[in-house]
Amino acid sequence: MRFTDEFKQDAAAQVVERGYAVSEVAGRLGISTKSLYTWKAQFSKSPCVRLLKRPLRSSV
Protein backbone atom coordinates (compact mmCIF):
# COMPACT_ATOMS: atom_id res chain seq x y z
CA MET A 1 0.00 0.00 0.00
CA ARG A 2 1.30 3.44 -0.89
CA PHE A 3 0.75 6.31 1.52
CA THR A 4 0.57 9.98 0.60
CA ASP A 5 3.28 12.37 1.75
CA GLU A 6 0.66 14.16 3.82
CA PHE A 7 -0.17 10.92 5.67
CA LYS A 8 3.52 10.22 6.26
CA GLN A 9 4.18 13.75 7.51
CA ASP A 10 1.23 13.62 9.87
CA ALA A 11 2.30 10.24 11.23
CA ALA A 12 5.85 11.49 11.79
CA ALA A 13 4.57 14.70 13.39
CA GLN A 14 2.59 12.69 15.95
CA VAL A 15 5.92 11.31 17.16
CA VAL A 16 8.20 14.33 16.71
CA GLU A 17 5.91 17.23 17.55
CA ARG A 18 3.23 15.68 19.77
CA GLY A 19 5.43 13.24 21.68
CA TYR A 20 3.58 9.98 21.03
CA ALA A 21 5.55 6.71 21.03
CA VAL A 22 6.42 5.25 17.63
CA SER A 23 4.85 1.91 18.57
CA GLU A 24 1.63 3.62 19.68
CA VAL A 25 1.25 5.68 16.48
CA ALA A 26 2.18 2.74 14.25
CA GLY A 27 -0.34 0.49 15.96
CA ARG A 28 -3.09 3.08 15.79
CA LEU A 29 -2.48 3.76 12.09
CA GLY A 30 -1.93 0.13 11.12
CA ILE A 31 1.61 0.66 9.81
CA SER A 32 4.94 -0.89 10.73
CA THR A 33 7.28 0.80 13.17
CA LYS A 34 10.00 0.48 10.52
CA SER A 35 7.94 2.61 8.11
CA LEU A 36 7.28 5.21 10.76
CA TYR A 37 10.95 5.43 11.74
CA THR A 38 11.82 5.82 8.04
CA TRP A 39 9.27 8.61 7.56
CA LYS A 40 10.40 10.30 10.76
CA ALA A 41 13.99 10.37 9.51
CA GLN A 42 12.94 11.41 6.01
CA PHE A 43 10.86 14.37 7.08
CA SER A 44 13.08 15.54 9.91
CA LYS A 45 15.92 16.01 7.38
CA SER A 46 13.91 18.47 5.33
CA PRO A 47 13.63 22.01 6.77
CA CYS A 48 10.61 22.59 4.53
CA VAL A 49 8.43 20.17 6.48
CA ARG A 50 7.73 22.60 9.30
CA LEU A 51 7.02 25.39 6.83
CA LEU A 52 4.50 23.22 5.00
CA LYS A 53 2.65 22.47 8.23
CA ARG A 54 2.32 26.14 9.25
CA PRO A 55 -0.90 27.96 8.42
CA LEU A 56 -0.45 30.71 5.87
CA ARG A 57 -0.75 34.27 7.11
CA SER A 58 -3.11 36.47 5.22
CA SER A 59 -1.89 39.86 4.06
CA VAL A 60 -3.62 42.78 5.69
Among 37, 28, 21, 29, which Cα is nearest to 3's? 29
Q: Does residue 39 register a pLDDT over 70?
A: yes
Q: Does residue 24 register a pLDDT over 90?
A: yes
Note the pLDDT of residue 43. 87
The size of the chain, in residues, is: 60
- The confidence band for 51, taking pLDDT boundaries of 50, 70 and 90, is low
Q: How is 11-33 classified by DSSP, letter by letter? A: HHHHHHTT---HHHHHHHHT--H
* pTM (2 d.p.): 0.70
- Contact by Cβ (8 Å): 31, 11: yes
Three-state secondary structure call for residue 52: helix
